[in-house]
Structure 1
Amino acid sequence: MTKHIYQWLIAGLSLATISCKKDLAEINKNPNAAENPQPDYLLTATEKITSDLYWGDANNFNSTLLIIQHWAKIQYTEPDRYIFSNSSFTSLWGTGYAQSITNLNTILQLPAEKANANYKGVALILRSWVFSLLTDNYGDIPYKEAGDIRQYLTPKYNTQKEVYFGLLDELKTAGASLTTGTSAPIAGDIIYGGNTARWKKFANALRLRIALRIADRESEKAKQVINEVLNDAGGLISSVDETARFTYTTPPQQNPVAAWFDTRDDYRIGKTLVDKLYALNDPRLPIFANKPTDATVTTYVGVPSGLTNSDANNLGFAKTSKPGSYFSTATAPAVILTYAEVLFGRAEAAARGFTTENAEDLYNQAIKASFNQYAITDLTVINNYTAQATVKFNAANFKKSIGEQKWIALFGQGLEAFAEWRRLDYPQLTAGAAGTLDGKIPVRFIYPGSEQALNATSYENAITNQGPDNLLTKLWFDQY
């Protein structure tokens, strides 16, 4: 009798657990989610949400652009001094999982008659990009169990190596699944206007990016992927026009940088970048920065990184340079992956001996592509720039050559510039003057505090594998 009672008790507890899990899943449903989701609307919304996430304040100009010293703060300087907490980096995690990945998973799960193979291929590419942003900055993350709260209320974390390897496979699959022509049209695509040939190139460009991300750890895998990409019939981004970008329109759909500067005035161009551009006589300086509004100041004036509030304020709002108007207009695009980045990647692959391409030629082409991106097309100007001893490609230290020029070319793309600075270790930056990390610079994001409370076991396992959950713990890809 006792045995039967025990069995019924276990069965009852099991049913209660299942019911509880179902109830929690229902509680956690997005009340704003469409009951009858349409792939084109979901695609437009996700591209906008993710572009804002990539280009907006929390993950870009209030964190990574400060860390890699493209921008600096003239007031409220705490983030510029590396004063971050586990609530500082909730945006990338929360929006990335709850909105971007959830929306893209919805497209992937729609029946074929509602979302054709091209919708699903594009969704898989975009999802891979979002996952790459998450692992680039946090390290180990929920990946294989992410985005399905009904099945995984507390998803396990995958190691960064597992995530990168998985994304390389998914991007290969996604690119191969896309068809060109009119047989499977897609609507709602702001990035490429439904051009699946360009989505194939973007998928391959992301594969190249991730392959280089793992190159110091898994060189043979990186070499294999890069050669697959170079030989793939889908090709790679091959012109400035093919750059992956989200194009904003007029308010309220404006660029988030423009939206910020409409009401706030607490950012300036970083002195580290201004000094470098002056030293190289770089024609991108007038694009990256505005001259101070004080007419007596005739040069571009950058703000040193990591000042105290009082020291920053004392420099004068009118006597320091804001980031260039090019980036703060309402219709300025959120640039995601450029032709220049692809060329720098190919140059690095050649310099590492992964390919037989000409590293120096590709490096020079990359600089030219970055200039062309900003309508600087005078060949004399470009050739004079690349001929400088401080710019010329150094095959013996390709990380320095590529690292410094890529850092400049990635201006405005804080998340990507932060990843590449950690990977290539150039330029060699000095910590902010009043930084709080004993002369060190952050090398990762802290996990959101909610993970400790809601997914404690997975969180603790990640810490055991990766190291302390602080700003100075190097991630797996950041070997040197």
Structure 2
Amino acid sequence: MKFRYLNILTVAFLLFTTSSCKKELAETNINPNTAQVAQPDYLLTAASKITADAYWGADNNFNSSLLLVQHWAKIQYTEPDRYIFSNSSFVSLWNTGYSQSITNLNTIIKLADAQGNSNYKGVALVLRSWVFQLLTDAYGDIPYKQAGNIDQYLTPAYDTQKDVYFGLLDDLKTAQAALDPAGKALAGDVIYAGKIALWKKLANSLRLRIALRIADREPEKSKQVLAEIAAQGSGYISSNSEIAQLGYFDSPNQNPISAWFETRDDFRISKTLTDKLVQLNDPRLAVFASKTQATTPTGYVGIPNGLTTGDANNLGFSKTSKPGTYIIASRAPAVIISYAEVLFDRAEAAARGLTGENAADLYTQAIRASFAQYSVADYDISAYLGQPATQFDAANYKKSIGEQKWIALYGQGLEAFAEWRRLDFPKLAPAVAGVLNNQLPVRFIYPGTEQSLNKENYKNAVANQGADVLTTKLWFDAY
């Protein structure tokens, strides 16, 4: 299975590289001995792997969003932890999302229509919706309707964030209808191994996530979407065994975090997270952080976010805690959406009055699911839930859910960053030596290439959304 997976990735890369050439070159240099039509299974593997790597890798995760949401901190080269970014700092998510992930997924959709395999189309729509969601969560207004079709739209127009979210809800509804467990089989699926019923659950789980993204702005639309999901009947991700994630192998095909730590030592667990876990007697501390190499009074020592390099170095490399061995293991999965997150989402939907479920019960289930995800013992879970500080507060559900969800989303920087902005919990302090006048970043800035290659559409987006700076709040971030 491992070698087949690697072979698929190699062929998919070659297919993608070939499809990226200019049309004239492709027409001139045709090899009569090779297939000229891309195969959807190879493209599906490639799109899944490429996107997961970008989602879990340095530029978009541990060197940006994991710092912004204060899961991790930097002990050297601390500029990103102080919010010192340029318009080249956030190129990876944009370029990977548009030129690779969405392009491949659009090709799969066309091939699926031509070959009459609606399951490939449904899966590609689900993954494409996730990619677009990552992009709009980070940047705000983005190209959506005209994206990924360079032959027709060389300089695609930007759509408003509201229109993007509404469009994604429609796309996921279309995907749900296209996915048929009794339909044609598909190959190349490295997330759910071709189990279409689980893709249907993932589609609904992403619809739930987006419905809550817009809930502060469009509560009636959110309620309508959740009613449609309930009526459709496929349900949501319903156990830890159904978590949507991409698995990795040993080096050199390991988790991007593991690859980084093979040669680098510039990240530590954040003091913000460490202090919260200690305050709550949370046994996940031993999962999320490593004990200090040198003997310290507590064994776990986080560092404040946004120190200067000199001040961070002075805390001592051996006297501060690296991230835990679980997350830096070579085979640690890249989680797209967890069972715990879905339960927290359902709890919030109930607390908002969007469904008739029991918010407090779902909140408790969510915490239990998070503990179980990391193999924490049952007796630890019961003790944890018995504390006053972990009780569900219906009058302030955003605080209860926001703080616990922030912990449960550990390692998923982009998603944790989006949820922290939306729920406004936990309350985070700006970086110690931050450069934003005591403010916190609330978005990624657009890549500088958009200003030069798509200038007019970029200018229109800025005029609609606000200045292209880290502190401009996005449409979904209502409060």
Shift of 1:116: 1.4
What's 1:91 paired with? 92
Give me the TM-score of the superposition, normalised by structure 2: 0.92
How much does 1:153 deviate?
0.6
Contact 1:297 1:319 (8 Å CA) reproduced? no
User: Corresponding residue for 1:19?
Assistant: none
Counterpart mapping for 1:306-385 below 5 A: 306-378=306-378, 380-385=379-384
Contact 1:255–1:328 (Cα < 8 Å) also in 2:
yes
Q: Which deviations, in whole Å up to 9, do the C-alpha atoms of 1:198-227 show, x marking residues without a partner?
A: 000000000000000000000000111122
Aligned-partner Cα distance in 2 for 1:479–1:159: 15
- Show the counterpart of 2:175: 174
Code of the aligned partner of 1:367: I
C-alpha change, 1:35 and 1:452, in structure 2 (3 Å) is: farther
Is the contact made by 1:466 and 1:475 (CA closer than 8 Å) also made in structure 2? yes
* 3-state secondary structure, aligned to 1:110: helix
Aligned to 2:125: 124
1:52 corresponds to 2:70: no
Question: Alignment RMSD, CA only?
Answer: 1.8
- Indicate how the Cα distance of structure 1 residues 406 and 125 shifts in structure 2: closer, same or farther if over 3 A, else same: same
The corresponding residue for 2:396 is 397
Query: For 1:231-310, what aligned pairs fall within 5 Å after superposition?
Result: 231-295=231-295, 298-310=298-310
Matches within 5 A, 1:3-42: 26=23, 35-42=36-43
What's the secondary structure of 1:318's corresponding residue?
coil
Name the CA distance, whole Å, in 1 between partners of 2:56 and 2:112. Answer: 32
Once residues 156 and 116 of structure 2 are traced to their aligned partners in structure 1, the CA distance between those partners, rounded to angstroms, is: 27
Give the Cα–Cα distance (whole angstroms) in 2 for the partners of residues 346 and 466 of structure 1. 30
In structure 2, stretches of 5+ residues that fail to align are 1-20, 30-34
Runs of 5+ unmatched residues, structure 1: 1-23
Residues 1:386 and 2:382 aligned together:
no
CA–CA distance in structure 2, aligned partners of residues 193 and 369 of structure 1: 23
- The residue type equivalent to 1:346 in the other structure is R
Instruction: State the alpha-carbon separation in 2 of the partners of residues 168 and 112 from structure 1.
Output: 21
Give yes or no for contact 1:46–1:103 (8 Å, CA) kept in 2: yes
CA distance in 2, matches of 1:46, 1:418: 23
Q: 1:384 to 1:176 in 2, by over 3 A?
A: same
Q: How many residues align?
A: 454
Deviation at 1:258, TM superposition (A): 0.2
Aligned-partner Cα distance in 2 for 1:109–1:410: 34
Instruction: Using the TM superposition, give the Cα deviation of residue 147 of structure 1 relative to its aligned residue in structure 2, in angstroms.
Output: 0.4
Aligned to 2:211: 211
Which residue matches 1:135? Answer: 136
Q: CA deviation at 1:390?
A: 1.1
**Structure 1 position 384, deviation (Å):** 2.1
Write the letter of the residue equivalent to 1:62: N
Q: Is the 8 A contact 2:205 2:236 kept in 1?
A: yes
Identify if the C-alpha distance between structure 1 residues 389 and 111 changes in structure 2 by more than 3 Å, giving closer, same or farther.
closer
Residue 318 of structure 1 and its aligned partner are, at CA, apart by 0.6
Which runs of at least 4 in structure 1 moved beyond 3 Å after TM superposition? 24-29, 111-115, 295-298
How many Å separate the matches in 2 of 1:296 and 1:252?
Answer: 34
In 2: Cα distance, 1:470 partner to 1:150 partner: 31
Contact 2:112/2:121 (8 A) holds in 1: no
> 1:385 and 1:292 mapped to 2: Cα distance?
24
Contact 2:109 2:125 in 1 (8 A): yes
Q: Deviations over 1:119-168 (max 9, x none)?
A: 11100100000000000010000000000111001100000000000000
Query: Does structure 2 conserve the Cα–Cα contact (< 8 Å) formed by 1:25 and 1:150?
Result: no
Q: CA deviation at 1:35?
A: 4.0
Structure 2: distance between partners of 1:99 and 1:359: 39
Q: Which residue of 2 aligns with 1:224?
A: 224
Q: Percent identity?
A: 66
**Structure 2: how far apart are the matches of 1:115 and 1:49?**
26
Measure the CA separation in 1 of the matches of 2:458 and 2:125.
26
- What per-residue deviation string (whole Å, max 9, x for no partner) do you get for residues 431-477 of structure 1? 01000001111000000000000101100000010000000000000
- What is the rounded CA distance, in whole Å, between the counterparts of 1:80 and 1:452 in structure 2? 25
Amino acid at match of 1:63: S
Q: CA deviation at 1:46?
A: 0.8
1:107-118 equivalences in 2 (<5 Å): 107-110=108-111, 112=113, 114=115, 116-118=117-119
Q: Indicate whether 1:432 and 2:428 are aligned.
A: no
Tell me the secondary structure at the aligned position of residue 319 of structure 1: coil
Could you tell me which amino acid in structure 2 is paired with residue 255 of structure 1?
N
Does the CA contact (< 8 Å) of 1:363 and 1:393 recur in 2? yes
Which residue number corresponds to residue 474 of structure 1? 473
Q: Helix, strand or coil: the match of 2:390? A: coil
| C-alpha displacement of 1:252 | 2.1
Look at both structures and tell me which one has the larger radius of gyration over its CA atoms: 1
Q: Distance in 2 between matches of 1:453 and 1:28?
A: 25
Q: Tell me: CA distance 1:151–1:384, structure 2 relative to 1, closer, same or farther (3 Å).
A: same
